[in-house]
Amino acid sequence: MIEIKDLYKQFGNTPVLQGINIEIKDGDIYGLVGVSGAGKSTLLRCINGLLPFEKGSLKVDGVNIQTLNGKKLREFRSTIGMIFQQFSLLERMNVLDNVCLPMRCLKYDKKKMLEKAMENLELVGLADRTKALPRELSGGQKQRVAIARAMALEPRILLCDEATSALDPNITQSILELLKKINRESNITIVVVTHQMEVVKNVCSKMSILSQGKLTISGEVKDIFLNHPESLAELLGQSVEFPKKEGKVYVEILKSAQGKDGENVISEMALAVKVPFDIVWGGMDKYRDDIAGNLVVEFEESDWEAVKKFLETKNADWRLV
Ligand code: ADP
Residues sharing a CB contact under 8 Å with residue 307, sequence separation 6 or more, in sequence order: 249, 251, 269, 273, 275, 277, 299
Q: What is the largest CA-CA distance in the chain?
A: 79
Judge if the beta carbon of residue 36 lies within 6 A of ligand 1: yes
Alpha helices in 106-207, H assignment, sequence order: 110-123, 139-150, 169-186, 197-203
Q: CA of 299: how far to CAs of 92, 262, 272, 309, 316, in Å?
A: 66, 20, 15, 14, 18
Contact of 318 with 264, CB cutoff 8 Å: no
> What distance in Å separates the CA atoms of residue 172 and residue 147, rounded to the nearest whole number?
13
pLDDT of 291 over the 80 cut: yes
Q: Is the pLDDT of residue 262 over 50?
A: no
Does ligand 1 come within 6 angstroms of the Cβ of 222? no
Average pLDDT, the chain: 93
Nearest CA to ligand 1 atom 5: 39
Among candidates 54, 214, 85, 236, which has minimal Cα distance to 159? 85
Residue pair 162/82 in contact by the 8 Å Cβ criterion: no
| pTM of the predicted structure, to 2 decimals | 0.90
Q: Name the closest-CA residue to atom 27, ligand 1.
A: 11
For ligand 1, the distance from its centroid to the CA atom of residue 306, given in whole angstroms, is 55
Residue 221 pLDDT > 70, yes or no? yes
Helices within the chain (DSSP H only)? 40-47, 70-77, 95-105, 110-123, 139-150, 169-186, 197-203, 221-227, 230-236, 265-273, 304-312
pLDDT in tens, 153-205: 999 999 999 999 999 999 999 999 999 999 999 999 999 999 999 999 999 99
Residue 41 near ligand 1, beta carbon < 6 Å? yes
Nearest to 77 by CA among 159, 11, 20, 144: 159
Q: Which atom of ligand 1 is nearest to 12's Cα? A: 25
Task: Decide: 160 and 130 in contact? Cβ < 8 Å.
Answer: no
Among protein residues, the one with the nearest Cα to ligand 1's atom 20 is 42
**Separation of 42 CA from ligand 1 center, angstroms?**
6
- For residues 192-201, one letter each, b for 16 or more C-beta atoms within 10 angstroms of the residue's C-beta and e for the rest, the string is bbbebbebbb
Looking at residue 199, its pLDDT comes to 95
User: What is the average pLDDT across 3-25?
Assistant: 97
Ligand 1 contacts CB of residue 276 (under 6 A): no
Are 120 and 98 within 8 A, CB to CB?
no
Return the axis-axis angle of helices 110-123 and 139-150, rounded to nearest 10°: 140
Task: Please state, in angstroms and rounded to a whole number, the distance separating the CA atoms of residues 278 and 250.
Answer: 10
pLDDT at 313 over 80: yes
What is the pLDDT, as a whole number, of residue 237?
Answer: 78
* Atom in ligand 1 nearest the alpha carbon of residue 45: 6
**CA separation for the pair 97, 94 (Å, rounded):** 5
Q: What pLDDT digit, counting tens, does each position of 297-311 carry? A: 999 999 999 999 999
Pairing of strands 63-64, 318-320: unpaired
In the reported structure, the alpha carbon of residue 99 is separated from the centroid of ligand 1 by a whole-number distance in angstroms of 29
